[in-house]
Chains A and B, each alone.
Chain A
Amino acid sequence: MALDTTHPATATGTSEPPAARAPRRTSRPGGTRLWVKIVIALLLIVEIYPLIWMFLTSLKSNSDYLNHSTWSLPTHWEWGNYADAWTTGNIGLYVKNSVLAVVPALALMLLLGTAAGFALQVMVWKGRNLTLLVFLAGMMVPPQMILLPLFTVYFQTGLSGTLWPLILTYTGTGLPLTVFMMATYYRSVPRELFEAATIDGAGILRAFWTISLPLVRNALLTVGLVQFFFIWNDLLIALTFTNNQDLRTIQVGLLNFTGDFGATQYGPLFAAICINVFGTLVIYLFLNQKVMKGLTSGAVKG
């Protein structure tokens, strides 16, 4: 198998760059090699500098921004840019809208998805594999395909002026991944546990609620985080269903920020981007292991 070179041939392009480094790998001195240090240094600059630049720019006044070098520090630190972005730029309102749409959607999605995952994985009935497949098919459908009919329905039922279109659409589109991941997590929980519980008189619904939920608590957190990032960062659905300015979510608000604020206010614009980025950063830093695990385990079958 090691000598089978036919199929990886398609991917040989990927091995070109290491080729240059390959000879050095044979000699293996003690510490980290110089080129590794250089690569890491470059990586750090590429990942971090844009964020530092963004943060510094968010503290510049307009004249500072336009007349001084892009590398320079602010001559005067304009913390007021943040207040401007939050109030005059409406970021506060947009964050509120996002929270009001994302939290109920997330709760509904997790509750329905976990129950469905339990029914599909733990319980025994005919047609459960087919049903799981039907849910999985949803992952392949581009959201564009469902936008127009949903728009029509929301318009005709008068839901358009509320955040309900977002809550419902996020719940529905998030279900395939949630159901699939929860079903996978339930696979590792032995069925005998639920059988025993029901013998003790618990009833299967009660077993689901009081026994299975605590067991998959970690999974719930992981799936919840992944879905949170997906729907918090969503633009397409929010852009389609929020034609009213007061309903804009944070992403739609940010996209239209320059338009609303006047194209010339760079400080507040960057402050608004920073609020978005550093808000996300805080959640990520606390829970990065869970986020990484969740996103990648969700991705493998995505």
Chain B
Amino acid sequence: MHRVLGDRRAVLILLGPALLVYSLIMLVPTLWSLGYSFTKGNTIDGFTGNGLDNFHRLFTDPDVRHALWFTAKYAVTVTVGQVVAGYLLALLYVFFLKKASALIRTLVFFPVVLPTVAVGLLFKNLFQVGPQTGPVNSLLNAVGIESIDFFGSSGHAFWVLIVMDIWRSMGFYAVLLFAGLVDIPDEVLESARLDGASGLRLIRHIVLPMSFPVLMSSLIFSINGTLKAFDSIIALTNGGPGNSTSPLTLYMFQTSFTYSDYGYGSTIALLLTVVCLMVTLVVFRASRRDLTKD
């Protein structure tokens, strides 16, 4: 029987095309890009090798340091915000709305599927000062606070970005974590209640530990996504004012396509890849260790 399911020709026919396309589009370019990081130039002017110059530049470039710092700050803030907001929503769904939560879940999830560019443009207008005062500043004016030029300073722009990304994605983490919370057996909750645990104590000692694995999945997913954030930033601030809200992804894009420096662009992309891998591995290992303690 194994002969049928082990038919090599059939495996080749079924798997071959996918493996070919995947290799050509993902694997080969990844290695190729690695090669580019030892060169200078671009497609039109041609490439010349320049040894480790790009790496030397990478470590001394203040813009890289700035972009790396921004990426870290952004990823940590958005990740914490997304997962906390998502967890609170999930708790709301499970413990307060119960069966009636479907409608709210659907509604809060909706921004997740919206095109980021559209959301970015929408938020730009929601928070604007001129030529027309947007709703947010109008609201501030109404309570007697002067309009804030949200996109005039990096501090404000950063927070608008954070608010937008949490708005956009909290429904997703809410549903993800909701699925984890629903899996907690009712008997466990009931017996804990009988033992006198309630409210905060119930959440801290029963609900949190039992939803720990799905919280970890959310963290890994969120960090992985926020480190690669690009669309939302380009649509909302385009890295500005100056380059103050420019993460590694955007810096890489600008280096490559605005300044046509493919070699250095590849080096920045490599840095981004290494950061993504390291962070994921660290979070993953941390979650593994804690799980075995249980």
Chain A contact residues, CB within 8 Å of chain B: 1-8, 11-15, 17-19, 21-26, 32-33, 36, 39-40, 43-44, 46-50, 53-54, 57, 65-66, 69-71, 108, 112-113, 115-116, 118-120, 122-125, 131, 134-135, 138, 140-153, 155-156, 168-169, 171-173, 175-176, 179, 191, 194-195, 198, 204-205, 208, 229, 232-236, 239-240, 250-251, 254-255, 257, 266, 269-270, 273, 276-277, 280-281, 283-284, 288, 291-292, 295-296, 299-302
Name the distance in Å between B282's Cβ and chain A's nearest Cβ: 13
CB pair A22–B7 under 8 Å, yes or no, is no
Most chain B beta-carbon contacts within 10 A, residue among A5, A148, A204, A277: A148
Looking at chain B's contact residues, the main secondary structure is helix
Assembled-state Cα–Cα distance A251/B121 (Å): 11
- Are A1 and B209 neighbours in the complex by a CB distance under 8 Å? yes
Give B172 Cβ to nearest chain A Cβ, in Å.
7
- Bound: A18/B121 CA distance, A: 33
The verdict on B51 contacting chain A, using a C-beta distance below 8 Å, is no
Given A47-B108, A124-B2, A254-B117; A149-B234 close (CB under 8 Å) = no
Q: Is the CB of A280 within 8 A of B115?
A: yes
B176 touches A300 (CB 8 A): yes
Among B12-20, B58-66, B151-159, the stretch that binds chain A is B12-20
Q: How far is the CB of A198 from chain B (nearest CB, A)?
A: 4
Whether A255 contacts B117 in the complex (CB less than 8 A), given A70-B138, A273-B122, comes out as yes
Cross-chain contact of B200 among A6, A19, A39, A229 (Cβ < 8 A) = A19
A21 CB to closest chain B CB (Å) equals 8
CB-based nearest A residue for B136 = A70
| A15 engages B200 (CB within 8 Å) | yes
The number of chain B residues touching the other chain, given as a range, is 35 or more
| In the complex, per-residue mask of B169-200: 1 if CB is within 8 Å of any chain A CB, else 0 | 00010011001000000000000100001111
Give every chain A residue within 8 A of B113 (Cβ-Cβ).
229, 233, 280, 283-284, 291
Question: B91 at the A/B interface (Cβ < 8 Å)?
Answer: yes
Contact B5 A296 (CB under 8 A): no
User: Chain A contacts of B132 at CB under 8 A?
Assistant: 65-66, 70, 266
Which residues from chain A contact B131 at a C-beta distance below 8 Å? 66
Which positions 1-45 of chain B face chain A at CB distance < 8 Å? Answer: 1-2, 4-8, 10-11, 13-15, 17-19, 21-22, 24-30, 32-33, 36, 43
Q: Among the interface residues B113, B121, B270, which one has the most CB atoms of the partner chain A within 10 A? A: B113
Residues of A within 8 A of B249 (CB): 142, 144, 236
The answer to whether B114 and A280 have CB atoms under 8 Å apart is yes
The residue from B91, B96, B199 contacting A33, defined by CB atoms under 8 A apart: B96
CB atoms of B17 and A115 under 8 A apart: yes
Interchain residue pairs A-B with the least CB separation, the first 9: A172-B25, A22-B199, A116-B18, A146-B29, A149-B29, A149-B32, A22-B200, A119-B14, A112-B18
A43 touches which one: B43, B108, B235 (CB < 8 A)?
Answer: B108
Decide if B116 is an interface residue (CB 8 Å cutoff): yes
Q: Binary interface profile of B, 271-294, with partner A (CB < 8 Å = 1, else 0)?
A: 011001100100000000010011
| A172-B109 contact in complex given A25-B199, A277-B115, C-beta closer than 8 Å | no
Q: Is the CB of A168 within 8 A of B208?
A: no
Query: What's the least CB distance linking B187 to chain A, in Å?
Result: 13
Residues in A neighbouring B97, C-beta threshold 8 A: 36, 40
Encode contact with A along B109-137: 1 for CB under 8 Å, 0 otherwise: 11111111110011101100001111100
Cβ-neighbour of A288 out of B106, B231, B269, B270 (below 8 A)? B106
Are A150 and B294 interface neighbours, CB within 8 A? Answer: no
Closest to B281 in A: A140
Is the CB–CB distance between A295 and B209 below 8 Å?
A: no
Are B11 and A119 within 8 A (Cβ)? yes
Q: Is the CB of A46 within 8 A of B167?
A: yes
User: Knowing that A142-B269, A175-B22, A204-B4 are A-B contacts, what are 11 other residue pairs whose CB atoms are under 8 Å apart, sorted by A's residue number?
Assistant: A3-B205, A69-B138, A113-B18, A124-B2, A141-B276, A142-B227, A148-B269, A173-B26, A233-B114, A236-B249, A296-B176
The answer to whether A148 and B176 have CB atoms under 8 Å apart is no
Partner among A13, A66, A69, A148 whose Cβ is within 8 Å of the Cβ of B262: A148
- B163 CB to closest chain A CB (Å) equals 10
Instruction: Judge if B243 is at the interface, Cβ distance under 8 Å.
Output: no
Distance between Cα atoms of A47 and B29 in the complex (Å): 40
